[in-house]
Amino acid sequence: MPEILKLIQERESARAPFDLKRPVSRQDLRQILEAGNWAPTAHNMQNFEIIVVDDPRILEMLGQLKNPISMEFVKENYQQLSFSEAELKQKKVGILANRFPPAWSNPNATRDELAATERPLPTSPVMLFMVYDPSRRAPASEGDFLGIISLGCATENMWLMAESLGVGFHIVSSFGGGSIEPQVKQILAIPESLRIVYAIRLGYPLGSSGQNLRIRREIEDFTHHNRFGKKGLE
């Protein structure tokens, strides 16, 4: 199997707590950032900035923030859940419900039940905050669809480089959007004109994230040969 494909298949989210006493070396951090720098972006706009945070005082402030879980998230999350490994293997898409608190898997959960699940947001020895300017749009790209894809390309490049270096990588989308974004912007002195895409935890997990079932569709499930509906490759 080609090495790059093996790396892609073994990539995973490091959801466990990180060792706060074990920093990521500057050499590894630079390689991760360099990988993101060479990602393809629409019209070579490179429409992102990355704030590297490793100051323990700032990390402590960020770690004290809490992001309320919205009813909208719970209802939309429910549509992606499987409640057994057998169900997930049959669907081949989505995630297991046991990865979340029970209230997050219940579309009828009350606001009090959701509030009881609030926890401080996770941090790590070094965090990357990716931000972008929403006023700059890739040409003729409705909703800046191409620009958003570009942010994903930069993230994937960094993720694969981190994986190759043995550095844990975890996206924390809760740091962007909603009521928490203004607080994060204030802590990190982010200009009002910029939006936070998400934060990325980098470091070395203390233990594993658990034996999460990793499932993907077969190639024949999502390919159509020459015309839509003609499944698989001949």
Query: What's the pLDDT tens digit per position in 63-93?
Result: 999 888 888 889 999 999 999 999 999 999 9
Q: What is the DSSP letter of 12?
A: -
Question: Same domain for 18 and 109?
Answer: no
Q: pLDDT by residue (tens digit) across 184-211?
A: 999 999 999 999 999 999 999 997 655 5
With contact defined as beta carbons under 8 Å apart, do 201 and 172 qualify? yes
Q: How many CA atoms lie within 13 A of 30 on its CB side?
A: 3
* Domain count within the chain: 2
What percent of the chain shows pLDDT beyond 70? 98
Q: State the pLDDT at residue 178.
A: 82
Which residue has tokens 């999460």? 212
Same-domain check for residues 40 and 143: yes
Report whether pLDDT(1) > 60.
Answer: no
Is residue 195 domain-shared with residue 103, that is, in the same domain? Answer: no
Nearest 5°: phi and psi at 192? Answer: -60, -30
Is residue 234, in this structure, part of any structural domain at all? no
- Mean pLDDT score of the chain, rounded to an integer? 92
**Which residue matches tokens 């169900």?**
87
Model's pTM, two decimal places? 0.91
